[in-house]
Amino acid sequence: MTDAVIADLRVRRHRAPLTRPWGESVRSIDVVEVSVETRDGRTGTGFSWTPSIGSAAVAALLENDIREWVIGRPADARTLWPLLWAHLHEAGSGGITTIAMAGLDLALWDLDSREHGASLSEYLGAERSRVTVYGSGVNLHYSLDELRAQAGRWVASGYAAVKMKVGRPGRGEDAARVAAVREIVGDDVALMLDANQRWTLDQAVDAMAELEQFNPAWIEEPLRADDLASHARLRSSIRTPIALGENLHTIYRFREAIEAGACDIVQPNVVRVGGITPFLDIAALADEHGVTLRPHLLPELSGQLALALPTATEVERVEGAGLAELGLLTDDGPVAFDRASLTSAGLPGLGVHFSERFVLAD
């Protein structure tokens, strides 16, 4: 890593409307752009991210506590991360704390990889030239016709795996919707289900008794993500693998989930866990325990990391929700999609360059 010293940290918030809203209350995506500058004038850019709640708080933490602490310290992500986490710990061990930390961590990785003239995946040591992408939809609010149309687009894109939401309130609604998607994608396509923490343990047992006839590849966040004990009980009660992790924020929580037998698949979100530094440690933990890792969202980063992980994985692509698709970037972004696969565009650093289009006024 670089031996440069941080001279400044700057923050800008962006808010882009979703072309396909994720529900009545989630119609936009907030990105908190973070730029660091060293004393010798070099810069790096990262970002924090939150779909609907908390971006103002994340920006405030960065602009105040993090900025004040980081100026004058070495521009080295691995050195700073544990020190900053300890410094911020009274504000919380995860959540807004780690989301804010990700902005700085990503900016430092961008700075260092660009200094070496390499893309992020090249700098980390690319293990492969492409990774598989699976289609994902935030579609619980879709009508059955809209859901069928989306499944048809997935088939046309050649995806070998797709994910849909479950957790509708009406009796039998989930089964009807899963049956419709399974009919369109066929038996050879892996179909994953995501309940987004909507069920109690008893509800999850009942729901999966009905939905396992459709051979789901996994059920994601069936219960409140914090309730690891109930996830472990559910795991012993159903045949379907359990995926968990988009709302776990530290390596300690991932270790607890794995050791408690709460899940078969871990899904760290590179921003929510605090950036690339902790993400790589969580990936190593999963490898050590023989647990499958599937990164959560943000293929612009997850894809580059997946290219460099020792163990191959698949990357999630939510329809219409990419940073470039939403107009947040000045170009097509750091990764390229070819139907159901992803490659690096070869841009130096993270390769994420934000436009002025959706900057929020102070």
Buried residues in 244-273 as b, exposed as e (16+ CB within 10 A): bbbbbbbbebbbebbeeebbbbbbbbbbbb
- Active site annotation includes 165: yes
The catalytically annotated residue of 14, 163, 249, 296 is 296
Helix, strand, coil tally for the chain in percent (to 5): 40, 20, 40
Contacts of 209 (CB under 8 A, 6+ apart): 238
- Active site annotation includes 141: no
Buried residues in 95-108 as b, exposed as e (16+ CB within 10 A): ebbbbbbbbbbbbb
The catalytically annotated residue of 14, 163, 165, 231 is 165
CA distances from 130 to 102, 122, 133, 222, 341 (A): 25, 12, 9, 31, 6
Pairing state between β 242-244 and 265-266: parallel
Catalytic positions, written as ranges? 165, 296
